[in-house]
Chains A and B, each alone.
Chain A
Amino acid sequence: MFFIGGAAAVMMRLHLIEPAGALVQPETYNKLFTMHGVVMVFFFLIPSIPATLGNFLVPMMIGARDLAFPRLNLLSWYVYITGAAFTLYALISGGVDTGWTFYTPLSSHYLNTHVITTALGVFITGFSSILTGLNFIVTIHKMRAPGMTWKRMPLFLWSIYAASVIFVLATPVLAIALFLVGLERIFHVGIFDPAIGGDPVLFQHLFWFYSHPAVYIMILPGMGVVSELVTCFSKKKPFGYIFIAYSSLAIAVFSFLVWGHHLFVSSQSVYAGFISSALSFALAIPSAIKVFNWTATLYKGSISYQAPMLYALGFIGLFTMGGLTGLFLASLATGVHLHDTYFVIAHFHYIMVGGAVMAYLGGIHFWWPKITGRLYHDGWARFAALVIFVGFNLTFFPQYMLGYLGMPRRYAVYPAEFQVLDVMSSAGASHTRRRLLDSIRLSSLVHPLWTRSRIESLERERPGMGDAIAASHR
């Protein structure tokens, strides 16, 4: 799924080399960005870390044999495949052009593309998320090994736990919102379309009640991974363990209260905007706590720059940039100007790609030997990490400037004055994409033909891996 979403992204960037659009019709462009959004958000970012690293590490880290409900876990995988199949069908049979946000009444009344199929795919995949979240919560509550108290749990578990809480509490709301869109499309029940008595802004409330917490579903596990990596490679205890742990929970709780900042210009009440802005600033506190504590962990540590650590350091830098630009969006006056521009795109790609994907790659590299028993080629992996970092910045940094200058998002054609920055961004994108593929192929999938003996030396090198994982493994 990641490759499909990625391909759509590259197509879009190539298309935007020319102001008038170089490659495709606006309609196709709209389908591309919708597919990119839907696939990346619902089928890659949300399940990536929980489904791979989570399912593998959660039982190991708490010393359990498996998750609490192994069969439920398998079911959630099948459910995911079913949902993905629906979405892929929509893609193959003509695509959908609502944007991943499915805003009404555009999605519920005005488009003739495969809205229902896509929404159904996302709806079904939502169940997979809920089941996984439920599984993690129960496992962490009930199946910790004797002596594995809450305060001794690896930080990754705290973040997975926080993300699971969001999974369980938020996903049903998205499911219902999409279900209502379907209901309105098929049976013309007036819920969101004002022409038949609905309220279009209600959909935005319901959608963002899920989708704002959802970005924390994506980033929280990434934060957990980075907490582990930083601790391991600076060979120190995590600085302020309890703060990192509780800040995960604080993020989970606060994330439900700030969705109003997606609605600053939606004709929402200015007072509601005021409150969500204040709460969004408050949400910066737990995120900042994490960054401060990672930095403090690094401080005076004996740092070894192996590939996973490079990803982790990249994460910290990019996440900080993404987070700080978030303050501009959370602030009401600047938020109005930057809303729905490329600034927003750059902001959430810094968090999602610079954050979640970097953490995912770092985590995969870090635990790759644990999962497969083989080691990747460290030189290639370091090279890939650096190249991704450079390419990523080249892609998305110009987009901050584009957004500030006022280029709106989801534009297939744009005024000529934005071309220079757009070309820079496109060059970065194709570069990143190729390197990203390289990194995955070369470092992880093709090259890990190293012997088991390397693993043992590895565990000597990396004390962090020794802790709970090794204990459970023995």
Chain B
Amino acid sequence: MNEENPSVETYIVVFVALLILAALTTGIAYINLGTLNTVVALAIAAVKMSLVGLFFMHLWYSRGLTRIVVLAGFFWLALMVLFTLADVFSRSWIKPPGP
């Protein structure tokens, strides 16, 4: 294993960052941004997820196969979302005359 372990300080910094982001999500929920609501919430969630993955799950320190495995996971998640959304968005392309 070619991994160096992150220091305790790193863990604490990341943890605090996660807490701040969580607070940010809660705070932003009170402000109405229109369509941006979902975008902002998802963006923050993505940042949090990357932090957890990179530091708590040591991806920052891993190489090679581990990274490929993780990327494959995301790739498959993307496939799932993509195909499901493809259905949702193309449903109205053929519109039978309504009831």
Contact surface of A with B, Cβ cutoff 8 Å: 141, 169, 173, 201-202, 205-206, 209, 256-257, 259-260, 263, 267-272, 275
Contacts and interface: CB of A to CB of B under 8 A. Distances in A.
Contacts of A259: 83
A200 to B, nearest CB: 13
Contact of A269 (B65, B72, B79, B93): B93
Interface of B: 65, 72-73, 76, 79-80, 83-84, 86-91, 93-94
Nearest to B94: A270
9 contacts: A173-B80, A201-B87, A205-B80, A256-B79, A259-B83, A260-B87, A270-B93, A270-B94, A272-B87
Given A141-B65, A268-B91, A269-B90, A202 B84 contact: yes
Contact of A169 (B65, B72, B86, B93): B72
Given A141-B65, A256-B79, A257-B79, A271 B93 contact: yes
Nearest to A267: B91
A269 B89 CA distance: 8
A257 B83 contact: yes
Judged by DSSP, the binding face of B is helix
A209 B73 CA distance: 14
Contacts of A268: 87, 91
B32 to A, nearest CB: 19
Contacts of A209: 80, 84
Nearest to A209: B80
A269 B84 contact: no
Nearest to A271: B90
Contacts of B88: 269
A260 B83 CA distance: 8
Contacts of B79: 256-257
A275 B87 CA distance: 10
Which of B83, B84, B87, B93 neighbours the largest number of chain A CB atoms within 10 Å of its CB?
Answer: B87
Contact of B76 (A201, A202, A206, A256): A256
B94 to A, nearest CB: 6
A267 B79 CA distance: 21
A272 B76 contact: no
Given A141-B65, A169-B72, A169-B73, A269 B91 contact: yes
Contacts of B87: 201, 205, 260, 263, 268-269, 272
A169 B72 CA distance: 9
B84 to A, nearest CB: 5
Given A269-B86, A269-B88, 15 more contacts: A169-B72, A169-B76, A205-B80, A205-B83, A205-B84, A205-B87, A209-B80, A256-B80, A267-B91, A268-B87, A269-B91, A269-B93, A271-B86, A271-B90, A275-B83
Contacts of B84: 202, 205-206, 209
Contacts of B93: 269-271
A263 B86 CA distance: 13
A268 B86 CA distance: 10
Contacts of A267: 91
A256 B77 CA distance: 10
A317 to B, nearest CB: 33
Which of the listed residues B73, B89, B91, B94 has the most CB atoms from chain A within 10 Å of its own CB? B91
A268 B94 CA distance: 11
